[in-house]
Chains A and B, each alone.
Chain A
Amino acid sequence: MNQLIVKTKNLNFSYTKTRKDIEDLGLEVPKGSIYGFLGPNGSGKSTTIRLILGLLKKQSGNVSLFNKEHTAKTRLENLDKIGALIENPSLYGHLNAVENLKIAANYRNGISLERINEVLEIVKLTHAKKKKVKAYSLGMKQRLGLAVSLLSNPELVILDEPTNGLDPKGIIEMRTLIKELNEQYGTTIFISSHLLSEIEKTCTHVGIIRDGKMLYQDTVKALKQSKGKKMMVDLEVDKFIDAMTVLEELNKENTSLTDEFIQIEVESKTEITTVIDALRAKNIAVYQVSIKNNLEELFLSLTEN
C-alpha cells in the first residue's frame, strides 16, 4: 500500500517567464488509491497532469511513475501502463465510436475487438457506436474519452475533470465505475476536479492545489478529521434580531456573511437541539436548520487568500 504509483518532487513549470504555474509541487499517489486532485480553475491541475505524462517539459524537479523515474528511457514502458483522459477528449469527429476506439487500440498491443465492445458497454454507448462522434453530445464524448482511456486495462487511470458535461445520472455512474475499477482490478485512479463533493464521495486520498502549490495532501479520512468534530450550522428564522440576542446568551457567534441565514458553530449534534429549544422558548420561528458541509468550508478557506 505504501508503494507510490505517481511521485513528483519539487516540480516546477512556467508557461511564461513572468509567473510560475507549478511551484515545488510534491505529489504522492499510493498504489491502489483513488486520488482526488482538487483545486479551483486555473490552479494548475491540467498542467500537473501534462507534466506527469511528459507532454510538458518540466523546468526542474522530478517525476517518478511506478517507482521508476519518468525519463526518455522509461517513457514508453510507463505510458504502456497508463490510460489518460486529458481535459476535453481527443476524438476524431468524422469517425464513429468504434473507428475511434480501433485507432486507439491499434496504437497499443493486443487489444481485441471484444475489448472495444466491452468498454463501449461499460460507458453505455453501445447504442450509439456507429454514430459519427461529431454528432455526439458533450457528455457522450466525455464517455467515449473515458472508454479510450480504459481500453488497455491500465494500472493507472488519469482523468482530468471526467464528470465535465455529464448529467447527474452519468456522474453517479462514473463514480460507481471508478470505485468498481479500483476494487475489482486494483486500478489506481487519479482524478482532478474542482468540486470537493465529488472527490469526497469517491476518493481515498486528496491533494489540494492552489496557484500551482500543493496546500494539503493526505487521506480523505484525515481531511475530515482535521476539522475536528465542530460543525457549521445555518439557521433560518423569522426574528433575526431577537434570535441574535438568544444566541449571544448561549455564547454563539454569528459567522454568516448574509442576512438570510445565521451561521453558528456547534460542538455536537445535540447542541443543535439546545439552540432550537432556546429559540422556540422565545417564540422565534425556526424554518430551516442545516449542517454545512465542513469539507466545503475547509476547501474554500484553504483556497481563498
Chain B
Amino acid sequence: MTAITHYTTSTVNEFQKLKRTFAFWLTIISALFIPIIYLLYYLIKYKQLIPTEGVNPWDKFIVEQIRAAVPLLVPMFIVLVTSLIVQIEHKSSGLKHLFALPIPKWSIYFGKLTAVVCTIIIAYTLFFIFMVSVGYIVGMIHEELKFVSFTPNYFENIKLLFRSFIAILGIVGLQFWLSFRMKNFIIPLGIGTVLIVTGLIVYRAEEAVYFPYAYNMLSLFPIDKDLDSLIWFPTVSIYSLGYFLLFSLIGYIDINRKNIT
C-alpha cells in the first residue's frame, strides 16, 4: 500500500469507529443547543424582536448566536469531542493492536486527527444549518419577524464561522496530543477546561495573541490593525494554524517514540 492509501484507510476506519458513540451524539447536540434556545426565544419574545422596516433580521439573529457559542460552548466542545474520540481507542486498549498492524504509525495518528478535525467541521456545518432552519421556522410562524422576506448573509456568516474554526485548530493539535498520550481522559479534559477559562480572562491582553486558548474569542474581534472587521485570515488564524502544525508534529514524534503499554 502507498502512503495515500494507508492514510485514507486509517481515516475511513476512524469514522467507522465513531458509529453509535457518544462523540457522534455530542456533535449533534452541541450544534443544536443554541439554535434551540433561539427558537424558544424568538417564539416567546417575538413581539420585542420585530425588526425595523427594511432591516435584515438575519444579521442580528445569526451573529448573536455565534457570539453566544464562541466563548465557552465551542472550545468546550472541542476539548470534549477530542477526548471522547481518542478515548474510544483507550477504552478498547486498541493502541497495542493498531501499533502491531502492518500500517505506519503516522497513518494512525494523523488518520485519527483527521477524523477529529472533520467532526469539528461537521459540527460547524450543522450549527449553521440549524441556525438558518430555526430562522425560517420562526419566520414562517411569525411573518412579522421578516425572516422569510430577507435572506441570510451567507457569505459573511460563513466567514465568521470559518475564522472561529481556524482559530480553534491550535487547541485541537494540543488537546489531541494530550488525549492520545493519556489513557485517563480526565487529565486532558481538566487541562483544557482550565486553559479555556484562562483564555476568557486574558483574551483582552496584548500577549493573548500567543495563547491559543484565547484565539476563539479573538477570532470575533479584529484586534489586529489589518482591517476593520472581516478578513478570512486574521493574525490569530495564522498563529493558530502554526500551533496546530507544531503540536501535531511534536505529538506524533512523541507518540512514535513512546512505549505502548
Contacts and interface: CB of A to CB of B under 8 A. Distances in A.
B60 interface: no
Given A53-B100, A99-B16, A99-B19, A90 B9 contact: no
Contacts of A67: none
Contacts of B94: 90, 92
A92 B100 contact: no
A77 to B, nearest CB: 7
B102 A90 contact: no
A89 B94 CA distance: 8
A287 interface: no
Contacts of A61: none
Interface of A: 15, 50, 53-57, 76-77, 79-80, 82, 84, 86-95, 99, 102-104, 106-109, 148
Interface in B6-52: 9-10, 12-13, 16-17, 19-21
Contacts of A108: 101-102
B260 A106 contact: no
B249 interface: no
Interface range, B side: 20 to 34
A265 B91 CA distance: 52
Given A79-B100, A106-B9, A108-B101, 5 more contacts: A76-B102, A92-B17, A106-B16, A108-B102, A148-B97
A106 B101 contact: no
Interface of B: 1, 9-10, 12-13, 16-17, 19-21, 88, 91-104, 257, 259-261
Contacts of B20: 94-95
A102 B12 CA distance: 12
B92 A92 contact: yes
Given A50-B261, A92-B88, A103 B17 contact: yes
A50 B102 contact: no
Scoring B13, B19, B92, B259 by chain A CB atoms within 10 A of each residue's CB, the highest score goes to: B92
B97 A86 contact: yes
Nearest to A79: B102
A91 B259 contact: no
A92 B88 CA distance: 7
